[in-house]
Amino acid sequence: MPELPEVETVRRGLSALVVGQTITRVDVRLPRIVRFPSVDAFVSRLQGRQFKDIRRRGKYLLFDVEPYTLISHLRMEGQYRVVPEDEPKALHTHVVFGLANGMELRYRDVRQFGTMDVVAEGEPLPSGLVSLGPEPFDPNLTFQDLYSRIHRRMAPIKSVLLNQTVIAGLGNIYVDEALFLAGIHPLTGADKLRKTDCERLLQSIREVLTRAIDAGGSTIRTYADGYGRHGGFQMQLNVYGRAGEPCLGCGGEIEKIKLGGRGTHYCIHCQPRNGRKTRSKSMSAAASSEGFTP
């Protein structure tokens, strides 16, 4: 599933490609992608409108087409591409927005889990959007705030961080990577973390996300941006997808377990199960070797 860095990369690319363009037509090929309003009203609300801006909230894309907002959730494998209108449409292309410049904004979704809503001010927003926690880069989000959000939760810290009501935009890849940089075992109960742990954790979350955005996200399976380009952060991963390989920091083995049905990766030495370990010089060196200075 595209996480915050991938959705932010898509947002930036689409902003350059479609903001300022007028929607000349809308073709909904798979009606269930549209949740609100009806398909006919969806088309009517968008046709003839101009893309004014594209914003992101958590893993949602918000296209401003005044007086409406098109809210898009990519879910597992949703993709946007901007291509010439005469280019053959790829299989699983479900929604097409014709643009005044002769291009098309196409939404493709192999698994068909993505959703779209077009809402006016005062109309109900998708429940998942309403319940989102703060953005990781929100300057008002401090480690004390993070501590207050998690310290009464007895669930494993990884499960808590995946909860979008706690902090928005994090998914499996970047939670694993942030916990590694913070030296925190994914099974550690959230209620066991001290404020100093939360300070280190919030810093690690921001460091990982910044590096991932700079690299254009991670292409583990099918992710691509609006230009069709793949991300590059998968080449910088410290633990995710590296089960059985040596840790880049200490040389210990990367282990994989199942947690809440999700594959979870960690270093058996850098992230001790019983006890806390601050970021070691070797862990910092591993991060620096990938272009990041702690």
Catalytic residue numbers, as ranges: 2-3, 59, 262
Distance CA 115, CA 72 (A): 6
- Residues 6+ away with beta carbon under 8 Å from 154: 189, 190, 191
